[in-house]
Amino acid sequence: MARDYHILVLEDEPATRALLASLLEAEGYRVTPAELGAQALELITQYSFDLILLDLNLPDEDGLFIARELRAKSDVGIIILTSRKEDVDRVVGLEMGADDYVTKPFFPRELIARVKNLLRRLTPARGGRRGEAGREIRHFEGWAMDLAKRSLTNAQGHDVNLTRAEFDLLTALVNSAGRVLSRDQLLDAIGSQFWTPVDRTIDVLVSRLRRKMEADPKSPTIIITSHGYGYKFAPTVSLE
């Protein structure tokens, strides 16, 4: 299975780039290395990558700009590489549509685990078996959420664009409507077993969902905060 995946490694430091390539190749992945953002943007027009490891600190383009460009053009998996002192990058990276991040210096095992985890999450969203029989739609207050197509439509019938992490988080909340889920449970749901307890990822994603879904994000009625614990999806959900 692994050998079917094609990974773009965008990293300007030669030693790190070589290390990443050899780690991934050892797992059976096909790897295309790139040194500059401009090369990466060119390569994605030529190949269909499954995942991109994206160093944020590049000599030519801002890695966050690249992330946004990539996300606008495809549903490729994006893992950003960032150094420890750039905490804010992780949050902004997720806002730009990255799926996960790895902090440099990284542990090879953690890097590979995150790559595998993301590829596993990507696979069901692709692969052809998405016939009508597989459709799973959740309805709430006029909204429709199609789990197979990974689409969300508001009460006015307009599509609302969600990043992969936002969609996964909303799915977990909707599937447990009426029950409070802890931040840990929600982190599990978005496939991030390595985040630290103080991580603000869930709070960032929830505030993004609120901005996209709530009439007044400051007094939410859809995703309710359970202080010090987690979040609850308040509306009644019906299935189709």
Under the rule (CB under 5 A), what is the footprint of Ca ion? 12, 55, 57
The smaller minimum CB distance to Ca ion, of residues 55 and 166, is found at 55
Distance of closest approach, residue 123 Cβ to Ca ion, in angstroms:
29
**What are the structure tokens assigned to 7, written together?**
């990974």
CA distance 118 to 80: 12
Report, in this order, helix, strand and coil percent for the chain, each rounded to 5. 40, 20, 35
Distance of closest approach, residue 85 Cβ to Ca ion, in angstroms:
13
Distance of closest approach, residue 86 Cβ to Ca ion, in angstroms:
11
The smaller minimum CB distance to Ca ion, of residues 80 and 209, is found at 80
CA distance 113 to 80: 14
CA distance 108 to 124: 26
Distance of closest approach, residue 15 Cβ to Ca ion, in angstroms:
11
Helix 63-73 to helix 37-46 angle, to the nearest 10 degrees? 10
Report which residue's Cβ sits closest to Ca ion: 57
Distance of closest approach, residue 130 Cβ to Ca ion, in angstroms:
38
Distance of closest approach, residue 60 Cβ to Ca ion, in angstroms:
11
The smaller minimum CB distance to Ca ion, of residues 101 and 167, is found at 101
Residue 27, phi then psi, degrees to nearest 5:
-85, -5
10 in Cβ contact with 34 (< 8 Å): yes
Distance of closest approach, residue 188 Cβ to Ca ion, in angstroms:
31
The smaller minimum CB distance to Ca ion, of residues 19 and 224, is found at 19
CA distance 119 to 117: 6
90 in Cβ contact with 81 (< 8 Å): no
Question: How far is residue 165 from each of residues 26, 157, 205, 208, 219, measured CA to CA in Å?
Answer: 28, 22, 8, 11, 23
- Does the N-terminal peptide bond of residue 105 adopt cis geometry, omega within 30 degrees of 0? yes
